[in-house]
Structure 1
Amino acid sequence: MSKIIKDPVHGYISVDDFVLDLIDTPVVQRLRRVKQLGFSYLVYPGANHTRFEHSLGAYHLACEMCDSLDISKREVKAAGLLHDIGHGPFSHTSEEVLVSWFDISHEDFAEEVVFSSEISSVLDSWGVSSDLVLSLIGGEGKYGQVIASELDVDRMDYLVRDAHYTGVAYGTIDYERLINEMKFVDGDLIVMEGGLKAAESLLVSRFLMQPTVYFHHASRIAEKMVMSAVEVALERGILDGDGFRRMFDFEVLLKLREVDGFPGNMVNRVLNRELYKRAVEVNRSSIESDCVDKLETDIEFRREMEKVIASEAGVENVIIDAPPRVGMEELKTKVLQGGDVKRLDEVSRIVDILDDAQSDQWKFRIYVPEGTVKEVKEVSKEFLELENIDY
């Protein structure tokens, strides 16, 4: 017996009994209180959708993929629903902190969540292997490609869902065509020639969504303000790592808004949309490569540099944003063309161009309180030997 759930993106979703039992567990219900796009709602007011809705969507597309590929394993459907079970508060916003401080990603944490919660007992009661579900979430094995690969149900859902809720038109893709044109060839999930244009469309969509939504400067500023507050709270023992990654969004905001000093100041500013401003914005070629690498990976170095720049500029504090470099894994997608299996970037000139243009979207930024842009810009230019400062 199944239940029908109305989804604004996919329409009516039929949910199997064993999946309903998974949905009713507290760890899955927690995803209702974790926003899919962090602080993007400060830019796009409709972007209040959650990881719960996305998980349902990924489950639905996993079912569609199973039907198309003639897969009968319940584990694939369960992995579609649970693939984001390990996300911390604010979704990917907190990922950088969790990886930097504790060297653990949401995929790593998924294993602990599954085996330390009701999830494992629900799966066992339905004869579904927890170990297999976890391996599929990690993209392992033949069927893991449905959940985590270059063109997976996760990407298909979040692009159309994020576009729907932000109102941005770039995320419109023909995922139904793509699913129907994917087949297993020698154990690899391949896009057939008839799905080439749909695959190209997905890459174009993600390429355009990155600067427009995912790395929009205003939402990125809010993210870094709150995560800087979290870092200080972790240092002071106000938050602990294990507790933080299990929290949901407004728990963190409510807790930190009452904290004296920097954490409370940052969170209250974000809650009132009194965001910092960009003093510096440059691409990768304008800043020394070794310095970028260190700012990306070394928290102590980054925070020390923030203190130095703030002190020299005579301002209270600054926030440095050296985001992780985002690759286009979809370029490795295998396509069957003319009887031969090739990489997508080998058969598509559009994809090849996107690969070249990808690096232009990466931006190094420094954020400061309003009214201090000029001072910080001059000091940053000297200390970091920056060239071609846009702001």
Structure 2
Amino acid sequence: MAQHQVNYAASGGLPVAYLHKTECIADRMFVRAVSAALESGEINSERFYRFDDYETMSLFRSLQGYTGDIFKRLYRRQLFKSLWRGKTDTISRDMVNRLISLRKKPQRHIEFENYLADYFNIPHGYLLFDIQMAPSVDIRDSPRIIPEIYISEHGDIKRIDEISRLAESLSDAIWDHWFCALYTAPEYRKILSDKIIDMPEIIEDGLP
């Protein structure tokens, strides 16, 4: 049941332009707050599904505890702050692939965030770890994708990035925009700023 609830929160949230940093933070805050409300029974998924945006924000701001706090922050535009960002030039491709796999498992993703919160001695839910989706062949999933274009060369059908150095470079460059990031509430940022050292090693220790 908890897995279903977290999956619903992750997929039923407000749409965002995922590559914009501010919206990435707001999206992760939203997912985590809704997941908490569903898991605690403060709201059920059937009722949540019928809400429009206004009703969603109004109801969740009225809740007590973590969910209410996060939605009040969202309403006041008091978003979490970015602490650290990892890209393909700072972490290994193997770790990138494992993180992308983790992103597909919302409950495990939250457990990983809780591991990081425990590591840095921060309350659960106030240290969030964002993982961007992998570049996709579907333009709806990744606005920077190079479409799969096939052309004929000497009677053979080949993908354009197999015969064009420019297309190959552009395809490789897609991964330059992938990132993962660590966000926290403003009141914890100063406490954590000096502790964010060797993040890849910390991530490695906590990955399933």
2:31 maps to 227
- Distance (Å, rounded) in 2 between the aligned partners of 1:342 and 1:282: 34
1:320 maps to 129
CA separation of 1:349 and 1:303: change in aligned 2, threshold 3 A: same
1:303 maps to 110
Contact 2:6 2:35 in 1 (8 A): no
Following superposition, the deviation at residue 294 of structure 1 comes to 5.4
Task: Identify the range of structure 1 (346-355 vs 278-287) with the bigger mean alpha-carbon deviation.
Answer: 346-355
Matches within 5 A, 1:363-382: 363-376=179-192, 379=195, 381=197
- Distance (Å, rounded) in 1 between the aligned partners of 2:82 and 2:11: 29
Structure having the higher helix fraction is: 1
Write the letter of the residue equivalent to 1:253: M
- State which of 356, 359, 364 in structure 1 corresponds to 2:172: 356
Contact 1:332 1:344 in 2 (8 A): yes
- Distance (Å, rounded) in 2 between the aligned partners of 1:276 and 1:232: 17
1:256 maps to 60
Aligned residues: 186
- Distance (Å, rounded) in 1 between the aligned partners of 2:200 and 2:156: 49
Following superposition, the deviation at residue 313 of structure 1 comes to 2.7
Question: C-alpha deviations, 1:24-77, integer Å up to 9, x for none?
Answer: xxxxxxxxxxxxxxxxxxxxxxxxxxxxxxxxxxxxxxxxxxxxxxxxxxxxxx
Contact 2:85 2:181 in 1 (8 A): yes
Write the letter of the residue equivalent to 2:7: W
- Distance (Å, rounded) in 1 between the aligned partners of 2:55 and 2:6: 22
Matches within 5 A, 1:1-391: 101=7, 214-284=18-88, 285-286=90-91, 288-289=95-96, 291-293=98-100, 295-316=102-123, 317-329=126-138, 330-335=146-151, 342-346=158-162, 348-376=164-192, 379=195, 381=197, 384-385=200-201
Larger of the two Rg values belongs to structure? 1
**Greater relative contact order (CA < 8 Å, ≥ 6 in sequence):** 2
Question: C-alpha deviations, 1:185-225, integer Å up to 9, x for none?
Answer: xxxxxxxxxxxxxxxxxxxxxxxxxxxx5411111101111
CA separation of 1:247 and 1:335: change in aligned 2, threshold 3 A: farther
Following superposition, the deviation at residue 377 of structure 1 comes to 5.1
Contact 2:132 2:180 in 1 (8 A): yes
Following superposition, the deviation at residue 346 of structure 1 comes to 4.2
Q: % of aligned pairs identical?
A: 24
- Distance (Å, rounded) in 2 between the aligned partners of 1:351 and 1:99: 41
Unaligned runs of 5+ in 1: 1-96, 107-212
Contact 1:234 1:241 in 2 (8 A): yes
TM-score (normalised: structure 2): 0.70
Write the letter of the residue equivalent to 2:42: I
Following superposition, the deviation at residue 271 of structure 1 comes to 1.4
Contact 1:319 1:368 in 2 (8 A): yes
How large is the Cα RMSD of the aligned pairs?
3.7
- Distance (Å, rounded) in 1 between the aligned partners of 2:97 and 2:153: 41
Question: C-alpha deviations, 1:211-251, integer Å up to 9, x for none?
Answer: xx541111110111111111111112233334434433222
CA separation of 1:328 and 1:298: change in aligned 2, threshold 3 A: closer
Following superposition, the deviation at residue 289 of structure 1 comes to 4.5
Unaligned runs of 5+ in 2: 139-145, 204-208
Contact 2:79 2:185 in 1 (8 A): yes
Write the letter of the residue equivalent to 1:368: T
- Distance (Å, rounded) in 2 between the aligned partners of 1:328 and 1:99: 28
